[in-house]
């Protein structure tokens, strides 16, 4: 099945992104790959490894209540939300990606923690 490429504008630039998922033995591996539109093979990739529910699937893709550490508020986190993807575009740009180089962040849960979320409910 071909994955749908989606578009998002951040600042002056237009980006495209694709979300992929693999399941195996109760574990969900989700990847988010972002690139400048027109440079689809030069990506900033994030990999997330969480538990997987046999009925609802990955918590990152169906919406999951995550607590913001500083405020204590609960946010329905979903990687399909453009606002969520924007945070990852900005994180990549602030941490070595410029759109013309390939970079991969292998532990997306660590990045979610850096973005202020309590990720303990997501760990498998």
Task: Answer whether residue 1 is part of any domain.
Answer: no
In this predicted model, what pLDDT tens digit does every residue of 33-45 receive, in sequence order?
999 999 989 999 9
Question: Which residues contact residue 113 at a Cβ distance below 8 angstroms, ignoring those fewer than 6 apart?
Answer: 119
Is residue 49 within a helix (H) or strand (E), and if so which, with residue range? Answer: strand 44-51
Terminal Cα-to-Cα distance of the chain (whole angstroms): 27
Predicted TM-score of the model (pTM): 0.92
Higher pLDDT, 2 or 1: 2
Residue 93: what are its φ and ψ, rounded to 5°?
Answer: -65, -35
- With a cut of 90, say whether residue 96 has pLDDT above it: yes
Total domains in the chain come to 1
Chain-centre distance of CA 109, in angstroms? Answer: 9
Range of the domain at 22: 6-122
In this predicted model, what pLDDT tens digit does every residue of 17-69 receive, in sequence order?
999 999 888 889 999 999 999 998 999 999 999 999 888 889 999 999 999 99
Task: Answer whether residue 89 is part of any domain.
Answer: yes
Task: Answer whether residue 10 is part of any domain.
Answer: yes
């Amino acid at each position: 099945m071909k994955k749908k490429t989606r578009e998002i504008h951040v600042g002056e630039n237009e980006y495209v992104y694709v979300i992929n998922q693999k399941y195996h033995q109760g574990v969900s591996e989700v990847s988010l790959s972002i690139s400048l539109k027109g440079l689809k093979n030069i990506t900033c990739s994030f990999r997330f490894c969480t538990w997987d529910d046999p009925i609802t699937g990955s918590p990152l893709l169906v919406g999951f209540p995550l607590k913001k550490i500083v405020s204590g508020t609960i946010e329905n986190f979903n990687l399909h939300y453009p606002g969520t993807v924007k945070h990852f575009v900005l994180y990549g740009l602030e941490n070595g990606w410029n759109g013309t180089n390939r970079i991969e962040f292998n532990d997306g849960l660590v990045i979610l923690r850096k973005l202020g979320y309590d990720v303990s409910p997501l760990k498998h």
